[in-house]
Amino acid sequence: MKILVLILARGGSKRLPNKNILKLGKKHLINWSIDFAKKIPFVCDILVSTDSKKIGLIAKKRRALVPWIRPKKLSLDKAKSHDAALHAINWYENNIQKVDGLMLLQPTSPFRKLKTIKEGIRIFKNKKNISVIGVERSKYNSNNYHILSKTKNKYLKKLSKNTENIYRENGSFYLISPSNLRKNKSFYSNNTSPLVCKLMIESIDIDTKDEWKIAKRLVNFKFN
């Protein structure tokens, strides 16, 4: 099996400027995901899609594949991540090789556990025509897009009413086949399985100054 890891890293960020290249511990935030991806089994390449030359240079120094600067229309605030993912996978399969899976790792989730990611790959391998999405258990329900529940066949669905067994998408992990991504134009499908991240640290998603402060405290506690 071959998996292409994709890291989407825009240069602009309103709530936390230049977040993807801020130093967390001793390395840039994006390098946490690049370095982690090198440990994942079945990964054939790590492709960084960015609209920033500076981010591109930092990623290249870490030996990630940065074949182009992402088109402006795919880098606007309203641009969808699945559109940038389609742009990347279409280029890769047309120019490099075909792959079985596309794994999206957001650079704002630096504290992944390898054991958890291996479990996500195992789920993907053992079931046909599915996608796998990282989630955490949630005590709260709303009509928010990111709040999900598990169906009787153990797939995920977006909620429309209160339920007890609920999850929240945490942004740490997405895995889908290129064909399913092209068909659904989303990382969600009718057969989306949850990868439950059990540790709180795995669900840290850095997007604000407060979340950045939390991450800086956690990196010293967890990794040093």
Q: Tell me, what's the pLDDT at 213?
A: 94
- Comparing CA positions, the residue from 15, 14, 11, 33 lying closest to residue 211 is 15
* Residues 109, 116, 128, 48, CA torsion sign: positive
Q: Tell me, what's the pLDDT at 78?
A: 84
With 70 as the cut, is the pLDDT of residue 158 above it? no
Q: Tell me, what's the pLDDT at 145?
A: 46
- Comparing CA positions, the residue from 222, 215, 217 lying closest to residue 109 is 215
Q: Tell me, what's the pLDDT at 224?
A: 42
Whole-prediction pTM value? 0.89
The pair of structure tokens assigned to 60 is: 């290249």
> pLDDT tens, 132-153?
999 998 765 554 545 666 666 6
Q: Is 18 exposed, middle or buried (0-12, 13-18, 19+ CB in 10 A)?
A: middle
Beta-bridge partner residues of 168: 136, 147
Q: What is the rounded (10 degree) CA torsion for 206, 7, 147, 116?
A: -90
Report residue 186 CA to chain centroid gap. 13
**Banded model confidence at residue 201, pLDDT cuts 50, 70, 90:** very high
| Pairwise pLDDT comparison (79 vs 211), residue with the higher score | 211
**Banded model confidence at residue 222, pLDDT cuts 50, 70, 90:** low
Q: What is the rounded (10 degree) CA torsion for 52, 58, 61, 67?
A: -20
With 70 as the cut, is the pLDDT of residue 103 above it? yes
With 60 as the cut, is the pLDDT of residue 202 above it? yes
> pLDDT tens, 8-51?
999 978 889 999 999 999 999 999 999 999 999 999 999 999 99
> How far is Cα 72 from Cα 52, in angstroms, rounded to an integer?
10
